[in-house]
Each structure stands twice: as C-alpha cells, then as structure tokens.
Structure 1
Amino acid sequence: MEQQSVVIAGGGPTGMWLACELRLAGVGVVVLERAPEIDPHSRALTVHPRTIETFALRGAHTRMLAEGGRISSGHFAVLDDRLDFGSLDTDFPFTLTIPQARTTELLQERALALGAEVRRGHRVTDAVSAPDSVSLTVLAPDGRTYALDAPYAVGCDGTRSVVRQCADIAFEGTSFTALGTLGDVVLDEPPPGAVVSAWTRRGTLMLVPLPGGLHRIAMHSPEDIREDWPGELTFEDFRERVRAVTGTDYGMHSPSWLSRFGNTSRLARSYRAGRILLAGDAAHQHMPAGGVGLNVGVQDAMNLGWKLAAVVTGRAPDALLDTYHAERHPVGADTIEHTQAQTALMMGFSPQGSALRSLMGKLIAERPQLRDALAERLSGLSVAYDLPGATHPLAGRRAPNLLLADSRHLYDLLADGRPVLVGSPRTSDGRLAPQQPQHRPAWDGVGAALIRPDGYVGWASGTTDSAALAREAEHALAALHGTPPERHPA
C-alpha cells in the first residue's frame, strides 16, 4: 500500500489549487483524476476579482491576466443594469473570461512544477476513514485496483462525489425545477460587443466570445421551467430557442458542444468527516448563475490549504481543520441563496415575474449602495469570516493589496504561503499606510495586523501602547497555529 500525506480526488481547478497550496508548504500530494485528459468543454468561463486576488497572493495570476479577456461589469439575473466593478476596492476590478479547461491547465502546470503528483485516468472507488488515516481504493487506467493510505483525503470530485458518499456526508437541498441550455457554436454574424445579454418573455440569453472563433450562448426558456429532464438537446432545437429570444440565430453553425444544466441546489451537511474533507462542487451544487461555481471552489481550497498543511506538518492541532467548515459552509449556503434568487428572476417569464425584474432593475439603478453590494457579492470580495474572540472590525475580512511603508505590496509578501505581520509591534507609531490614491478609512489607525496565508485578517489592533501591541501580536500568532510570520514595517 502506498503512503501519501494528502490524497486529493478530483483534478479540476479546486483540486489543482489545493495541491498547489499543499506543495507550497512542503506537503506530499497526489491528485487522482478519473478523466484521462482535461475536459475541453468548459462550463465555467469566468474568474472573478477575488479569485484573481487569490491567485495573485501566490504570484500565479500573470498568465491568466495575459490570456483572459477583461469585463469590467457583471450581471445579477441578466438585469439590464449591470454591476460596475470599477468601484470595488481591488487591483482587479474586472472579471476574466478564460475557459475552465485553460484555467485547469495552468493550475495543473503550477501543481506539477511545485512537485505534486497528478495521476489522470485514476478513479477513486472507495474511501474509508480510520482514526489515524484514510484508506482509498483506486481503479487505474489499465483496470488494476490498488490502495492508497494517507493521513487526510480531500474530495474535490464534483457533485456526484464518491468521496462524499463514502464518508456518508449528507448532500441536502432541492432537485431542479428549472433548466438551462448552452451551446458553443460558430457565428457568421456575431453581435457587436464582448458580452451580449437579453431577457424577454420568450427567454433569457447570454452570449460570450470564446477562443478559437467560437461563441458561448447560454439561455433559459419558459418551457425549461420543469421537473423532468428532457431528451437530448439538438442543434436545431437550440437554434430555434435563440431565434425565439433575439429574432436571429446570428448565423450559427458547427456546434462543438451542446448541453443542459439545472438549478439543483445542494449543500454538504459538513465539509469534514474525520480525516475526509470536501471542497468545491463536492461540497455545494447550484445553478451556474453569474459563473460563481469555479470561484467558490478555488476559495474553498485557499481556505483549506494552509490549515491542512499546518496540521499535516505538525505546526497546528487537528482541531484547526474544524474552522474550515465553520468558515466556508456559510459561504456555500450563501452561494445557493444567491443563485436561487437569480434563477427566480431570470426565469420570471410571467407578468408578475416581469414586474419583479423591472422593480429590481429600478432599485439597482437608483441605489448605488445596492448595486455596489451586489457587485461585491458576485465578485467574492464581500466574504468575511466570523473569528471567535476577535474584536477589531477588520478581523475576518479580506486584506486589500496594501502598499506598505517599505514600498512593497502586501500580496507580494504572501507569495510563500506564510502569514505576514504588518505594522510594528515594537514601536508606538507604526501605522499601516493605505495604498494610494484610494483611501481606506477602515485601515486608519491600525497599529499592526496579522494577515493569514489566505489573505484574510486574522488579527488587528489600533492600540498605541507598544508593549500591549507586542503582547497582542504574540497571542495572535499563537492562536493562528502556524509558522511565525515574517514581520514587515508598515
């Protein structure tokens, strides 16, 4: 039986990013992915601002920025008034359009470069958790079965997760009541603009250009409000649906992929069962409204990675892993609520639904605070964690890419995956300097702050007493259960 430190089932973006994080901390990792090759058909096309920040925390974002298209706004339920990302407090006020296949490829390259082992065509068929280890049964491409033993295993293996089922973790929620269709097609008469969206009483449609001369069209129709799964989606059916909404089919032909999707919404009762943990679609399933799925999964992996690495390497007690469920399970629940609300609006084809859409559109247009709040939610920047015992309002919130007094940026200091203490606990006048020209009132008067490896504030203090600041900082370091961070003057 092979011995591994951590086994990850599932080689999508979530599993690959988790592998990257574990290898960055020196933890042995093997990724088992049942598909022999990366699926060329990409359900996800968007990388949101917080996910770009997540990659930027490790310097893993530059190739994505170079390759992806930038869209400076997002949508809520395909309402006419789009959400402007320009007002968001981030270095990346845009969504990147990049196919999931390419995102997976880039993250796999990084994982391999960091020393992870990736076994494609290897399928987990069983996982048994014991008090001190997890034993997995794996089916290899040649038909042989072998066993893997590891201190921990993580299921990143999708909504039908074998790992979740073996761990007997309930996947609770509702089956689909509405469907959508999508097609990757060639358009001889594409509409102008990077992104096109339309809503009529005959259907909802979104159109986005893809690499290689293709366009992705995703849509919903009144007949898709149903609880039974119809037969195979044909190209003629898809083309007629598009015509019904827009009056044209844009000269579409040569479909490379046609598919259906639904609003089935389920959430794992627990993200942890002993030494088995879940992340990404194995932990939550929802309608792909707003393209949030990949992003939430990567952020699951970011939260789990540094904690699991600290436990495996003996720098933290096993109980640290309980905070993964405590912090990310509410995010999964919020994601389901957010996407279900959008589903109701996108598929509100009745007169009452049309009126609700009209009202919501007016409220968003008239109330900038509502528009900005929705933009923050869609971008992932609004996520904050409830840290027990924390008293400062910044604790549990993401840290922006602060410019520090030594002219370095905060995210550059987090590239090695270790926590960072900014500020000077040895002096009474150390203060964080907010990045210019944007002013950040929330950071005014902060004497020191401990930034967790995932870019969230683990502790902050505004005291001017140097001795008290030093004591608080050391207590925060001990509470983090990680390697003592480097200290940087602010």
Structure 2
Amino acid sequence: MDTHVIVVGAGPAGLTLAAELRLAGADVIVLEKENTLATESRGMGFTARTMEVFDQRGLLERFGSLRRAPGGHFGSVPVDYAVGGGEHASLTGVSQAGTVAVLGDWARSLGADIRHGHRLLSVQDTGEHVIVTLDTPTGEARLTTHYLVGCDGGHSTVRQAAGIDFPGTESTTELLLADVRDLTPDPLWSGGRRPTGMLLAAPLPDGAMRLVVHEHGRAPRRRPGPPDFQEVVDAWHRVSGDDISEATPLWVSSFGDAARLADAYRRGRILLAGDAAHIHLPAGGQGMNVGIQDAVNLGWRLGNVVTGRADDALLDAYEAERRPVGAELVRNTRAQAALFLGGEEMQPLREVLTQVFRTEEAARTLAGLISGLDLRYDVGPGNHPLLGRRMPPTPLTLPDQTPTTSTELLRTGRGVLLLLDQDPSDHDADGWKDRVDTITARAAGTATDSATPDGARLLQGTAALLLRPDGHVAWTSDDGDLTTALDRHFGAPAS
C-alpha cells in the first residue's frame, strides 16, 4: 500500500477528513487537481455546529476575529437564528478560501500529504484495495490504498467511478455571482425583488462586495468555464436598471438550483463526503458546513479501521448517520429555493411565513434545523436526554482541581469515557485504551443554578458517559451496557 487512505479533493471536507484521519493515526494522501489552493469563496461563514466542531479541535482561534451573524433568513424570509441564548447563531465574515487555508495548514501540521496538480483518471476497487491512476505534473502515475474517499464536489469523479447513482432534480434556472471592488454607487439599496428578478448585494470582509442576480425565466446552461463579468453587468441592468460596469471583478461564477443526493455514501472500499454526496442551491452556507461535519463523522471511524483497531462494519454507521442529514439538507434547501427564486406568485406565502417565523418556537425549530444543533443519532438503547446528541460545551473540574471543559477533552480526536466523581473501577474501558481515554472529572454548577451550563445540568445524577471523537454521547451510565457501546462505536477490544 502507498497509504492507508487517499482523499480526492482539497476543499473543506477533504482537508478536514485528512486531519481527522491523522489524529486517528492513519496515513493519508490528498489529491487535488488544481495546482494551487482555492481562492474563491462561495461559502462565507460557519453554522453553530461547525464552530463547535472546530472548537473541539482547538481551531477557532486560527480563523482570527470572529463575529456572530446579526440575523438570518430561510429562503429570503427573515429568521432570528440567535433566538434564545444565541447558541444557534451562525458565524459570518470567514471566507471559504480562508477556511481552506486554515484547514490545509492544520492537516499538513498533522502529517497529511497534500498533492496539488494531481487529477484522477481511473479507479479500480479490487475488493482488497483500491488502485487509482493519476495525471500528475511529472506524468501518469498509479497509487494503491486501502480506502478511497471522494470529496471532489458535485461532479465527483470518484462517485462516478464507483457507480453510485446521484438522483434528484435538475437545475431549473441559473444565478450569476460576482465579487467586485470599486463599485459606485453603493448597490445595497438595489437589493431585493424586482418584477423581472431578484438581487442581492452584501459587503465582504475584505472591503469587496458580493453581487448575486437572478432573472426570472433564465434557463440553466452548461458552461465550459465561468461567465464573463459583462453577463453579470447586463443581467443586473435588466433587473435593476443600474449600471455596475465600472466595478472591478474579482471572481465571477454561476450556479443553479439542482438538488441531488447520492444513493449510497459507501460502495466497497470507496466512500463519499461533502458535495460529492449532496448538492443543492447554496443557502446559508449549509453545503460546506455539512461536508465538514460528514468528514468529522467519517474520520475517526475510517482511521480506526485502517489501523486495525476495528473492522469495517464500523463504516456502515457513517452512511446510516450522515445520509439522513444529507436528505434533510436537500429537502430544506429545495423549500428555500421555492421561496427564494419564485416570482410574485410566492409573495403571499413569504408574507405569511414572515409572521410565523417571528414566533420563538418557529425560529428555534428552523435554527436547530439549519445549524445542526438539534441532530440526534441513533447510538443504541437508552433515554438519557444527551444520548445521541453532541455534548454541549460543559465546564469540568479534574481531581487535582484543574479546570477543563468537555470540548477540551476532545482535542486529540480520541473517544472519552468521562467518570463523574466515580471510582474508575466501576466502569472499565481498558480494552479500548488505544482509542478511548478514561478521565475522572466533576461537572461544575448545580441543577438548580440557572447560571449552570445546560450540559452540566443534564449531567446531574449521571455516573459516567462515553463521548465519541466527534463529540456525540454514545452511552451514559443510565443507558445499557458500556461494553456493548464500546464495541458498537469503537470496535472490538484490543487482544
């Protein structure tokens, strides 16, 4: 074998997966067809769940100054995603190019081998390993690996080579996007709906402006490359009447409202994550965020399998947990597309939903849906309110009185058996100590203190719990047998 795992695609999902694999002790090669890091930024921020994911790996500070989004929308209908304590609010002002740079540095620092200018030509899954043929800067080459993961976007070569169907709906229209500088006059006043289409204009962190224009009746088209800026100028003028031709284009692109979900996230030794598994109308940056979360769910599983600590049955739960998330993503973005792209016939519905979404209950439901914070996996039998959910950031105190948090315990990417002031002999995970750390700590606060974090209140009366490397609670002392949970989520114990 040339490596344990080959990841195709050096975008946010691929780079996150590479880093997670390295944390699990797996060797990984990332193949990227482009010669340099991406500089365009279709996504411009993180959902609350992605912020938690990055925080548990100690990455948030690498993104510089961070600020919560002041508001949000669902298909252009305003929604206050900061409802309640603001825990569902997203982060804005972080470009996708900046995210790729941070994740690339992180993956390399952990030992990932990232190779640019390597284009995938063919794939052969022999049943025992995977052989890939590549076009490289020095000519054609071949690599052999235990597993291949496609993080190579909506037109995924890996998905096609694996013969995985990608059913869904075709694009019904085309939207044009341009990031520009030197735009006079300021077009913010032009944003909104017009009889012939829809306009968006929003400032970017670097002083540029993002413009999006949609013309009613504009048919989708196949393009060999990005559109010319003049197309954006002409479309903007037809919809708004404004002339933006004096602006300096930085990046021009087009996109549609196609919505597709892979029939399977795994076939044999080939797996999919990110846009290779699901595409949709860009709405709130969900695609990039869900792709990153796909990678975090897959990384520790695949790392344990290829290093011999678990058999490949551990990978079956990846599709079982993440494909329903992809299906929900496609469903909610299709609903948003109808609101966002529809004409005057949709206006009564927008007005009704505007009233509905002002209620705290509706806002909280939508916020949980978009952020992913309400996600609960089926991890086994039990009724504890934390079971299957991601552990909320919770202050803890170690036996020597050192303060820590549940988030900090996950920095190494390993599982954690958390004993809450209990005798370590009461719950034994010694057979899994190559994958799971056993830590004794006490939750801060009391159940009756309103200042106590939710996680600490929910832990009251619980003797122990098992955290997976992705932060989800796999077992509590109130629910079933610990050994069964360890087997299910981490494989058999070491001999």
Same fold (TM over 0.5): yes
How far did 1:84 drift? 2.9
Distance in 2 between residues matched to 1:291 and 1:250, nearest whole Å? 26
Residue 74 of structure 2 is aligned to residue 76 of structure 1: yes
What is the one-letter code of the residue matched to 1:112? R
Residue 9 of structure 2 is aligned to residue 7 of structure 1: no
Q: 2:357 aligned to 322, 345, 364, which one?
A: 364
Identify the residue that residue 35 of structure 2 maps to in structure 1: 36
Identify the residue that residue 348 of structure 1 maps to in structure 2: 342
Within-5 A mapping of 1:43-442:
43-64=42-63, 66-79=64-77, 81-85=78-82, 87=84, 90=87, 93-142=89-138, 144-186=139-181, 187-190=183-186, 198-224=192-218, 226=219, 228=221, 233-242=227-236, 248=242, 253-350=247-344, 352-365=345-358, 367-406=359-398, 407-424=403-420, 426=422, 432-433=443-444, 436-439=451-454, 442=458
**Over residues 37-87 of structure 1, what are the superposed CA-to-partner deviations in whole Å (9 max), with x where a residue is unaligned?**
1122222222221111111111012121x14554233221111x3323253
Distance in 2 between residues matched to 1:271 and 1:387, nearest whole Å? 19
Distance 1:229 1:373, change over 3 A: same
Identify the residue that residue 451 of structure 1 maps to in structure 2: 467
Report the identity percentage. 39
How far did 1:173 drift? 0.9
How far did 1:201 drift? 4.1
What is the one-letter code of the residue matched to 1:374? L
**Contact between 2:311 and 2:491, CA under 8 Å: does it hold in 1?**
no
Residue 482 of structure 2 is aligned to residue 473 of structure 1: yes
How far did 1:483 drift? 9.5
**Over residues 134-189 of structure 1, what are the superposed CA-to-partner deviations in whole Å (9 max), with x where a residue is unaligned?**
111111123x1111111111111111111111111111111111322111111244
How far did 1:199 drift? 3.6
How far did 1:392 drift? 3.0
Q: Report the 3-state secondary structure (helix = DSSP H, G, I; strand = E; otherwise coil) of the residue aligned with 1:257.
A: strand
Distance in 2 between residues matched to 1:277 and 1:400, nearest whole Å? 29
Distance in 2 between residues matched to 1:337 and 1:118, nearest whole Å? 34
Distance 1:325 1:252, change over 3 A: farther
What is the one-letter code of the residue matched to 2:24? A
Distance in 2 between residues matched to 1:483 and 1:107, nearest whole Å? 32
Identify the residue that residue 476 of structure 2 maps to in structure 1: 460
What is the one-letter code of the residue matched to 1:480? H
Distance 1:390 1:134, change over 3 A: farther
Identify the residue that residue 466 of structure 1 maps to in structure 2: none
Distance 1:180 1:444, change over 3 A: farther
Distance in 2 between residues matched to 1:420 and 1:282, nearest whole Å? 31
How far did 1:353 drift? 0.5
What is the one-letter code of the residue matched to 1:473? L
RMSD of aligned residue pairs (Cα, Å)? 2.8
- 5+ residue gaps, structure 1, are 464-470, 485-490
How far did 1:479 drift? 2.9
Between the two proteins, the alignment pairs up a number of residues equal to: 467
Identify the residue that residue 433 of structure 2 maps to in structure 1: none
Distance in 2 between residues matched to 1:268 and 1:438, nearest whole Å? 38
Q: Report the 3-state secondary structure (helix = DSSP H, G, I; strand = E; otherwise coil) of the residue aligned with 2:331.
A: helix
More displaced stretch, 176-185 vs 383-392: 383-392
**Over residues 253-279 of structure 1, what are the superposed CA-to-partner deviations in whole Å (9 max), with x where a residue is unaligned?**
011222210011111111001111101
Distance in 2 between residues matched to 1:399 and 1:122, nearest whole Å? 39
Q: Report the 3-state secondary structure (helix = DSSP H, G, I; strand = E; otherwise coil) of the residue aligned with 1:338.
A: helix
Distance in 2 between residues matched to 1:182 and 1:443, nearest whole Å? 47
What is the one-letter code of the residue matched to 1:269? D
How far did 1:425 drift? 7.7
**Contact between 1:189 and 1:251, CA under 8 Å: does it hold in 2?**
no
Distance 1:322 1:89, change over 3 A: farther
Distance in 2 between residues matched to 1:135 and 1:234, nearest whole Å? 39
- 5+ residue gaps, structure 2, are 427-439
How far did 1:243 drift? 5.2
How far did 1:444 drift? 4.4
What is the one-letter code of the residue matched to 1:150? T
What is the one-letter code of the residue matched to 1:254? T
